[in-house]
Amino acid sequence: MKVLGICGSPRKEGNSSSLLAEALRGCEASGAETKTIHVIDLNISPCIHCDSCLKTGKCIYHDDMDILLKEMDEADLIFISSPLHFANVSSQLKTVIDRMQVLWATKYVLKQPYLSEKKRSAVFITTASRYGDDLFDGSIATIKDFLRCGNIKLAMTFSCPSVENVGDVQQFPIIMKRCFETGKALADIKDN
Ligand SMILES: Cc1cc2nc3c(=O)[nH]c(=O)nc-3n(C[C@H](O)[C@H](O)[C@H](O)COP(=O)(O)O)c2cc1C
């Protein structure tokens, strides 16, 4: 099984990155092949709503989004992590998600899905400094919306409130362990 981790935090050693690493460590314990992409390392232009993808099924830009989409295409299971930034995912991850317009165009307009046909599942991991009932609703809605365009099933979300500084998440070993166990269990299911 191929597992892709997409880290949306600008802090490569931050809380959402640590939780993602634990989840992928769990996947590896079940024999999965894993790869992590930090979106902060990618060079991705924001969508300019030119509507070219609605006609051609392709984006006018050829940048690191090509690499990311290729990795997504090859993956069976995708973990996406992001801190909450003003009630949504980080701007780095949102730039990536807006470029998923090509998935929307090919699915709903051209009726020729962009990603190759196979079952893919995703897990969303998110962190925030505050605590509250509907804190994560905005980011979860954004993630669900884009996954739907790629016909990717959202298997689970992990929300970790009350973590602010790098390393804070280490104070929650139960959450770290849950991420590990989730990765291990999902990578063990042959047909997610
Ligand atoms: C620009 C910015 C916006 C933020 N917005 C929120 C927010 O809306 N709600 C919240 O609870 N925390 C917010 N935070 C705090 C981060 O979500 C929190 O520190 C998180 O643990 C960072 O994760 P990371 O270490 O993976 O980057 C914000 C932080 C930054 C830098």
| Range with lowest mean pLDDT among 106-115, 162-171, 181-190 | 181-190
Per-residue pLDDT band at 176 (split at 50, 70, 90): very high
Tokens of 68: 């990311």
Q: Distance between CA atoms of 147 and 117, rounded to whole angstroms?
A: 14
Is 111 within 8 Å of 59 (Cβ atoms)?
no
Considering the domain 2-188, what is its CATH architecture? 3-Layer(aba) Sandwich (3.40)
**Statement: residue 192 has pLDDT above 90:** no
Residue 190 is predicted with a pLDDT of 62
* Residue showing tokens 């897990």: 123
pTM over 0.75: yes
**Residues 155-167: pLDDT tens digits?**
999 999 999 999 9
Which residues, at least 6 apart from 48, have a Cβ–Cβ distance to it below 8 Å?
Answer: none
pLDDT tier at 189, thresholds 50, 70, 90: confident
- The mean per-residue pLDDT over the stretch 67-76 comes to 98
Which secondary-structure segment (H or E) carries 25?
A: helix 15-29
Best mutation site among 9, 124, 127, 129 for ligand 1, i.e. most ligand atoms within 8 A of its Cβ?
Answer: 129
Query: What is the residue type of 125?
Result: I
- Helix, strand, coil shares of the chain, percent, nearest 5, are 45, 20, 35
Query: What's the gap in Å between 87 CA and the centre of ligand 1?
Result: 9
Task: Note the pLDDT tens digit of each residue in 24-57.
Answer: 999 999 999 999 999 999 999 999 999 999 999 9
Write the DSSP assignment of 140-163 as a string of letters. HHHHHHHHHHTTEEEEEEEEE-S-
Look at ligand 1, atom 16, and give the residue with the nearest C-alpha.
128
Q: How far does residue 82's CA lie from ligand 1's centre (Å)?
A: 9
- Residue 191 — very low, low, confident or very high, per pLDDT cuts 50/70/90? low
Q: What is the mean pLDDT of the chain?
A: 96
Do 112 and 55 contact (CB within 8 A), yes or no?
A: no
Express each pLDDT in 123-172 by its tens digit. Answer: 999 999 999 889 999 999 999 999 999 999 999 999 999 999 999 999 99
DSSP H or E stretch at residue 49: none
